[in-house]
Structure 1
Amino acid sequence: MSQFSTAPLLKTKTVTIRDIVCNGECRHRSDEECAHRTSLVYPYRGVFMRHVGRNDTVAEANQVLFFNAGQGYRISHPIEGGDACIDLAIDESMLEELTPKEQAQPGPPFSFRRQRRRIDPRAQALVALLRHGLRRNVAETLEAEILALTLVRRSLGERTSHAAGASAGRQKLVDRAKLVLSSDLARRWTLSEIASEVGVSPVYLTQVFQQVEATPLYRYQLRLRLARALDLLGQYEDLTALGLDLGFSSHSHFSASFKQSFGQTPAEFQRAAQLRRR
């Protein structure tokens, strides 16, 4: 049985979008694979590690990963449960136009300098709108193309995304903390518990995480929970149950956090994405 399933969601002259799900049965590093085209990959469920040479990247819902055509990589799953991602490829000339010069390798062919960027909540919402809309056949082709270009622009914007800058040692420490958070999104972790899992002091962990990701550890956890909520909204009628299942203390806490991040309450997002009847 294949570990992967791929569902084509959209293919036009401008944009190709695929929904890729991996069951994560293989925990060790895969054989080397090669990207056949340059694309942006948005994890929306679960977590995996992408290994490019000596560079390791934790792939989770707060990140966009860049896969450059012809670049070899390996995948591993340090946490059970597998993962799911949206793979988005756009016309190369348009991608060059959308990408700030400092983020691209001197070409041709076009390729990204970095392995990943942290995206903002609005970009996460665009990923969910695209996936839900195309999966349910409610998004028009033109609408989906424009949403996709908006998502790429936002994912590369200097004000709407963040490129972590840190030594390899500090990045690995932060990545270990991300894996701890991702291992149980609903758990109400304490700082000392996470620090103990990572193997450093609580003070050092908070300082390094803030320096590398430019956001506090607690907010990073909140955004992982909210990204999971975006994924699950189509499966829940009882939004109070969804919030509690994701570790929120109450429906009001869940709803307020969701609206602060995405500009809509969970119920409003459900209606906007046509995930439930009005």
Structure 2
Amino acid sequence: MTDFAVSTLLATPTVAVRDVCCAGRCKARGAEECASATQFVFPYRGVYVRHLDSDMAVAEASQMLCFNPGEGYRISHPVAGGDACLSLTVDETQLREMTPSSLLRDGPAFAFAEQRLAIDPRAQALVAILRHSLMRGAAEPLEAESLALTLVQRALGPRTARAPTSSVGRRRLVDRAKLVMAGDLSRRWTLADIAAEVGGSPVYLTQAFAKVEGVPLYRYQLRLRLARALDRLADADDLTALALELGFSSHSHFSAAFQSTYGRSPTAMRDAMFVR
């Protein structure tokens, strides 16, 4: 794998979809970069940190990152393993029609107020279906465009989109906890383990995480594991081995959690990726 690879999966006048993989060999912040158009980035494997002025965002599978054009940022990889993301660019006329004004900055320029928004499991599933169906040639352009726009609408929807809340200190604590868990998905972490790693008490960490992310810490860890399973599902020959590798106690435990989170069994989700 090269340090940075971009594959264009779809390019139409309405939407462009790119698969972006980064080896993440350097932990320190890289050189400043800037997007030429509004981009929505959906991480689906690994983790990285995006630094925007004094703000930082941990990019992982439960988040969508919003890249405003002309806005300088830097990327660091504090957790080994690199990352992979699906990047979507939507025609600005269509994007203005889809975006709630509450998510935008005040002023004449079209720009998002927050650099990240939490997404729900259904949006995660749409990322996997869109990516795999395009990579395998299972989706015609019209269908792929519809899937991509549905994904963006879902991610920006009032019942789904949720910007991080609470104080900067709490958000930084939660970000450190997310990086700790991402570094070892299969480990059966305890609250005391994570609290010791991030420098806080178990009680405060539990309260802060629920406040910032909107879900309990244990549920976030479950979704992190399931997101990795979603990424690997298409090429997994042995689902039991995959379940155990990701820290589930059994195939049935994995299947039940997957069904509850995504509304489909692992087998049905894999079929949705290929059979159109």
Matched to 1:115, the amino acid is Q
Matched with 1:27 is 27
Matched with 1:187 is 187
Matched with 2:98 is 98
Spell out, residue by residue over 1:226-259, the C-alpha distance to the aligned partner (whole angstroms, 9 max, x if none).
1111100112111111111111111111001101
Structure 2 SS opposite 1:78: coil
Say if 2:75 is the partner of 1:75: yes
Matched with 2:249 is 249
How much does 1:2 deviate? 5.2
Is 60-69 or 238-247 further displaced after alignment? 238-247
Tell me how large the CA RMSD over aligned residues is.
Answer: 1.2
Structure 2 SS opposite 1:72: coil
Counterparts of 1:168 and 1:160 in 2: how far apart (Å)? Answer: 22
Q: Residues 128-143 of structure 1 correspond to what in structure 2 (within 5 A)?
A: 128-143=128-143
How much does 1:160 deviate? 1.7
Matched with 2:37 is 37
Is 15-24 or 157-166 further displaced after alignment? 157-166
Matched to 2:20, the amino acid is I
Matched with 1:123 is 123
Q: Residues 72-221 of structure 1 correspond to what in structure 2 (within 5 A)?
A: 72-221=72-221
Matched with 2:266 is 266
Spell out, residue by residue over 1:166-199, the C-alpha distance to the aligned partner (whole angstroms, 9 max, x if none).
1111100000000011001111111110111011
How much does 1:106 deviate? 3.2
Spell out, residue by residue over 1:51-100, the C-alpha distance to the aligned partner (whole angstroms, 9 max, x if none).
01000110001100000000000000000000000010001011111111
Matched to 1:245, the amino acid is E
Contact 2:180 2:197 in 1 (8 A): yes
Counterparts of 1:108 and 1:2 in 2: how far apart (Å)? Answer: 40
Classify 1:41/1:209 alpha carbon distance in 2 versus 1 (closer, same or farther; 3 Å): same
Spell out, residue by residue over 1:205-233, the C-alpha distance to the aligned partner (whole angstroms, 9 max, x if none).
00111111111000001111111111001
Spell out, residue by residue over 1:14-70, the C-alpha distance to the aligned partner (whole angstroms, 9 max, x if none).
000000000001111001111111110000000000001000110001100000000
How much does 1:104 deviate? 1.1
> Normalised by the size of structure 1, how large is the TM-score?
0.97
How much does 1:274 deviate? 2.0
Matched to 2:215, the amino acid is T
Counterparts of 2:90 and 2:216 in 1: how far apart (Å)? Answer: 33
How much does 1:107 deviate? 4.6
Gaps of 5+ in 2: none
Matched to 1:56, the amino acid is M
Contact 2:234 2:273 in 1 (8 A): no
Spell out, residue by residue over 1:143-170, the C-alpha distance to the aligned partner (whole angstroms, 9 max, x if none).
1111111111111112123211111111
Gaps of 5+ in 1: none
Matched to 1:106, the amino acid is D
Counterparts of 1:237 and 1:83 in 2: how far apart (Å)? Answer: 23
Is 106-115 or 206-215 further displaced after alignment? 106-115
Structure 2 SS opposite 1:161: coil
Is 105-114 or 160-169 further displaced after alignment? 105-114
> Normalised by the size of structure 2, how large is the TM-score?
0.97
Structure 1 SS opposite 2:73: strand
The percentage of aligned residue pairs carrying the same residue is 60
Counterparts of 1:131 and 1:115 in 2: how far apart (Å)? Answer: 23
Matched to 2:233, the amino acid is L
Counterparts of 2:133 and 2:127 in 1: how far apart (Å)? Answer: 10
Contact 2:19 2:87 in 1 (8 A): yes
Counterparts of 1:129 and 1:138 in 2: how far apart (Å)? Answer: 10
Matched with 2:9 is 9
Counterparts of 1:195 and 1:22 in 2: how far apart (Å)? Answer: 29
